[in-house]
Structure 1
């Protein structure tokens, strides 16, 4: 069981992570990872839709992914927000396959996140356009 401080709970938290984070997809999962304040505990959330299967199958997939997430939180205790979206193929995946896909996707997103420059907060019309020309 994940501690309350380690769970993404609001739709705003999920939306922010999905929109501003880096994404990596595997056969069974799509993982979004975003950096948060360094002192904050890492948080994780799960999206398992009805396309994965009935309630029994969805809960099985969630339990397996939650355990994989808890293991990654032990290693990366602070500074990350992670959203894990289970794909329909995860319903028939074994525990080992889910864990391998989760670990590989997390490793890939962390590598991309480490290489990505930090975005400055947008203020009004300051900055440049997508083409690199100064804004008026």
Structure 2
């Protein structure tokens, strides 16, 4: 599980990351990353809408994404906000597929720059 310091908790932070962050779209997820000069840690947020499925399915997807974020945490540069949005196909995605997709999206964004100018 992610520590409280590593979670985005305010709606304004979600909104800023989604609106002003760099985006990478994949089959099952959309990943947004934005530098956050006010923070010295990497913070993650997750958006799993009702289009993903029932409450049980949405919670499963959210738990998987949190576990993947926990694994990726040590590899990331501090001072970043990451929001991962689950698309409807995420409900049927295997763990390995989801892990590879999120890892690839994050590396794609960080390799081309941290945010849009």
Superposition CA RMSD, Å: 1.6
Q: C-alpha offsets along residues 74-121 of structure 1, whole Å, 9 cap, x if unaligned?
A: 21151110000000000000000100110111111111225x68x5xx
Retained in 1: the 8 A contact 2:39–2:80?
no
If the length of structure 1 is used for normalisation, what is the TM-score? 0.80
| 2:102 is aligned with 1:106 | no
SS at match of 1:30: strand
Q: Which runs of 4+ in 1 moved over 6 A?
A: none
Retained in 2: the 8 A contact 1:38–1:78?
no
Q: What corresponds to 1:129 in structure 2? A: none
| 2:60 is aligned with 1:95 | no
Q: What corresponds to 2:17 in structure 1? A: 17
The structure showing larger relative contact order (alpha-carbon pairs under 8 Å, at least 6 residues apart) is 2
CA–CA separation in structure 2 for the residues paired with 1:79 and 1:86: 23
Of structures 1 and 2, the larger Rg is shown by 1
- Any gaps of 5 or more consecutive residues in structure 2? none
- Any gaps of 5 or more consecutive residues in structure 1? 120-136
Change beyond 3 A, Cα 1:36–1:105: same
Give the Å deviation of 1:46: 0.1
Retained in 1: the 8 A contact 2:31–2:82?
yes
CA–CA separation in structure 2 for the residues paired with 1:21 and 1:45: 13
Q: C-alpha offsets along residues 3-32 of structure 1, whole Å, 9 cap, x if unaligned?
A: 000000011000111111100010010000
Judging by fraction of residues, say which structure has more helix.
Answer: 2
